[in-house]
Amino acid sequence: MRIILASKSPRRKELLELMGIKKFEVIVSDAEETIEEGLTIQEQSKKIAYSKAKAVFDETKGNRIVIGADTLVIKDNKLYGKPHTKEDAFDMLKKLQGTKHQVITSLCVLKEEDGKYTEYLNHDVTNVELKPISDAEIETWIKSGHAMDKAGAYSIQEKFAVHVKGIEGSYHTGIGLSISQLYDVIKEYI
């Protein structure tokens, strides 16, 4: 069975490797990551994960599993996606530092096997608490170049981990892929 990750995220690639998936392809999805009015944040995340997976699924053929994912950070019902500028990253981190907030990661798995199509779509939530972070520490993180391609402008598994006071829920969901959910869906192919 051909396994395809519809993501350019190096973190998601590492998580598939961590699961023991030895052979998979990466095909970056060209799906738009747009926010749609009237949907909950969880529905937004699932919609984006589905559109990423579906775009790659539709451009491939044969027996295959396509994995799409999306991660959003939420605090007080405000969405923190990937920052567009360094100033945006600074503002996000300034608002998130010293707080508890949620990281929502949605997972979409589209599978075709011998002409039979199935899909799995779900989300998981991890609560993250950041310590107070000084402006200088925020600037240092942004200058490292690692803030710009991450929801909320941070990652719990990199150098930024020194600012994470605690997490409740799946560590891997906080990174960007619920590997326990994914395992349950594709374990017979690993």
Token code pair at residue 65: 């599993």
CB 99 within 8 A of CB 129: yes
Per annotation, catalytic residue among 30, 58, 70, 76:
70
Could you tell me how many residues make up the chain? Answer: 190
CB 156 within 8 A of CB 128: yes
Q: In whole angstroms, how far apart are CA 19 and each of 27, 73, 105, 163? A: 19, 24, 17, 27
Decide if 184 is catalytic.
Answer: no
Token code pair at residue 61: 């053929």
Instruction: For strands 2-5 and 64-75, give the pairing.
Output: parallel
Q: Residue with structure tokens 């608490």?
A: 129
- Whole-angstrom distance between the N-terminal and C-terminal Cα of the chain? 9
Kindly list the catalytic residues.
Answer: 70
